[in-house]
Amino acid sequence: MAELKEQLRADMTASMKARDTLRTQTLRMVLTSISNAEVAGKTSHALSDEEVISILVSENKRRKEAAEAFEQGQRPELAEKERQEAAILAEYLPEPLSAEEVSAIVPLPSLTPVELNSA
């Protein structure tokens, strides 16, 4: 079983004991999404950490989009709740690479965009 899923369960239990309702609800929601993904399809299977991270990324994106929608709908209190949930989910995501790290992995071409289009 995925270590990340076990960490999420342990953190949910700790948040329940600490009576942190927002964290508990957020972790319960993501664990439900993980369980749904495990039983989706013709056969059920345990998810790897990479698959769990992909679900976390999806849920985090969903929260950010909902926050923007609530802001546009003049509902700042709901937008703030969505942002807080996104922040909780972001704690479980790996740190994104910096621009320097990306350029070290993928060297930039020496051609200009115009030269690339004509090539």
What percentage of the chain exceeds 90 in pLDDT? 64
Cα separations in angstroms, 67 against 28, 31, 48, 58, 61: 19, 21, 29, 14, 10
Measured CA to CA, the distance from residue 95 to residue 117 in angstroms comes to: 33
Domains annotated for the chain, with CATH where assigned, are 3-93 (1.10.1510.10)
pTM of the model: 0.75
The whole-number pLDDT of residue 43 equals 84
- Mean pLDDT, the chain, as a whole number? 87
The whole-number average pLDDT for the span 62-88 is 95
Residue scoring higher pLDDT (94 or 61):
61
pLDDT tens per residue, range 48-61:
889 999 999 999 99
